[in-house]
Structure 1
């Protein structure tokens, strides 16, 4: 490692200038939450925070930084950005993973530390399509319930699936509560398999198992603290209750410093169990300092003006974003298009996007579509 840089004189690489709140969030020594809208440079900020922590020695060798994202491309983008800005020596000290990958890695490594009744087979299968769970209920739960003799025709799968995701081990069961009764049997069938069904887990089940694993094995928790001095969570507004429970069990009241980043106006995963008011909950539980990034490097000034208007309708206390980058004040076009039906809409938009890609040498990822 090259010579240590003093914290007072450290600067972002490549001559990049960050807004004051971004720089302050990078140098904040305690838990922080960073609220940043589209185009604010969240990945860039996290990359520079990695650089700061490693180059100044705040993250002391051989400890590492754990960065958790929700999508594979986001995790790889951060790893690549750190290497681009600070080189391979710094990037080797960060593990950038998805939440599912992080949880699965812990389960696979410490599977035998689970009690026998909650231990899946070593070569368990992953259920990626939740609707398959309904088929498993119908095909492999054959018990009789005296309170619900025709239960196979009475249950609602959405309620079953919701309870499956909200389970906190150890399991509770009540024969006179149909959904707890099904949930206990469903967990047993999925964990152990039955007949031609192999041991199978959904990703939410993996996070639930790992949270229980950590809660029952403090030595494993201590090993996480010894490995990671800092933890980043990107797109934090979409963190589910299960994932947040796992985060708390792993790192609450530890010396590992947590940084959460996201946009509290882009919470789109409520249907999947995302936390309500995620940043407020985190700030309270982890005694975190919150920073807001105002610059928007992605959108033209006229578009930011429209975005700010919409933001105010969603949240009256929303702070206006500020155009940043090489823009003219008149840049940006906002139009309203109407269509006869969804097929007409799809055909016209697809054709226009292809024309823009051909004329402007852009790529599909350059287009955002919200409905």
Structure 2
């Protein structure tokens, strides 16, 4: 049974039907609570008048997404209303692919670059610009599609060459998936409204690993007031701050 061994506080979180921040320490059953909440929403979909709307669960890794799906399947849940995956998968499936005609760069087709090829290209460029193998270079662009380094610096030139390589080969990387999705939402209020009406509830697992642009993407959807959001995690377990993750407290999230 999905509610077995839940504490009263966990059960309260499961049945609570509004925006929520759920923070708890390691080993306290956050994933079990998340899965139980997904089960509860699906099990009460008629009472909640969900209809053809989607329940979205965002995880940090594909492995975590598979774990959630497997647990729900063990409870006999396989609903067309449920979508589980990473935020990059969400952006590709629900934002970029249905609106590819609005992104000139992608209209001729695109491929998400393989991580091994990406790393090899960056290593090659580090040699060209006389960086050490272990030197950290942030290849992500600002929301205006510009390198994060001052013009004329070696870092700026390396990032520029890297993105030219992506464009020449019809590639995009994980950071560009987020950039393109944000720009699409920001410039298309009707798209934000449509997604808000489509997504009944968004549940974010390990929210402390969320980056600023990911928060902004979620904000542009949730702010329309048609979508509920649940954020689950533990700010003390933030291990990806070096990769851009930002831990927000309750007031900042509100």
**2:122 equivalent in structure 1:** 134
1:219-238 alignment to 2 at 5 Å?
219-238=190-209
Q: 1:258 to 1:158 in 2, by over 3 A?
A: farther
**1:31 equivalent in structure 2:** 19
Structure 2 counterpart SS, 1:29 = coil
**1:204 equivalent in structure 2:** 175
- Give yes or no for the alignment of 1:113 onto 2:102: yes
Report if aligned partners of 1:166, 1:242 keep a CA contact under 8 Å in 2.
Answer: no
Distance in 1 separating the partners of 2:188 and 2:60:
26
Q: 1:125 to 1:71 in 2, by over 3 A?
A: closer
Normalised to the residue count of structure 1, the TM-score between the two structures is: 0.58
Residues paired across the two proteins, number = 249
Distance in 1 separating the partners of 2:245 and 2:2:
37
Q: 1:204 to 1:58 in 2, by over 3 A?
A: same
Q: 1:107 to 1:135 in 2, by over 3 A?
A: farther
Structure 2 counterpart SS, 1:259 = strand
Q: 1:46 to 1:180 in 2, by over 3 A?
A: same
Which consecutive unaligned segments of at least 5 residues does structure 2 have?
A: none
Report if aligned partners of 1:34, 1:259 keep a CA contact under 8 Å in 2.
Answer: yes
Normalised to the residue count of structure 2, the TM-score between the two structures is: 0.82
Q: 1:123 to 1:15 in 2, by over 3 A?
A: closer
Structure 2 counterpart SS, 1:255 = coil
Q: CA RMSD in A?
A: 3.1
Report if aligned partners of 2:196, 2:226 keep a CA contact under 8 Å in 1.
Answer: yes
Which consecutive unaligned segments of at least 5 residues does structure 1 have?
A: 1-12, 140-150, 288-371
1:73 to 34, 57, 63: 63
Structure 2 counterpart SS, 1:96 = strand
**2:251 equivalent in structure 1:** 284
Structure 2 counterpart SS, 1:33 = strand
**1:152 equivalent in structure 2:** 129
**2:227 equivalent in structure 1:** 256
Q: 1:65 to 1:59 in 2, by over 3 A?
A: farther
**2:140 equivalent in structure 1:** 165
Structure 2 counterpart SS, 1:265 = helix
- Give yes or no for the alignment of 1:94 onto 2:82: yes
Taking CA–CA contacts closer than 8 Å with sequence separation of 6 or more, which of the two structures ends up with the larger relative contact order? 2
Report if aligned partners of 1:51, 1:86 keep a CA contact under 8 Å in 2.
Answer: no
1:277-356 alignment to 2 at 5 Å?
277-278=247-248, 280=249, 283-287=250-254
1:190 to 161, 166, 170: 166
Report if aligned partners of 1:47, 1:78 keep a CA contact under 8 Å in 2.
Answer: yes
1:268 Cα offset (Å)? 1.5
Report if aligned partners of 2:56, 2:202 keep a CA contact under 8 Å in 1.
Answer: yes
Q: 1:59 to 1:16 in 2, by over 3 A?
A: farther
Distance in 2 separating the partners of 1:230 and 1:169:
30
String of CA shifts for 1:256-295, please: whole Å, max 9, x gaps: 11111112222211222211x33x1xx33442xxxxxxxx
Report if aligned partners of 2:55, 2:201 keep a CA contact under 8 Å in 1.
Answer: yes
**2:28 equivalent in structure 1:** 40
1:122 Cα offset (Å)? 0.9
Distance in 1 separating the partners of 2:161 and 2:29:
46
Distance in 2 separating the partners of 1:35 and 1:208:
28
**Mean Cα displacement is larger for which, 94-103 or 125-134?**
125-134
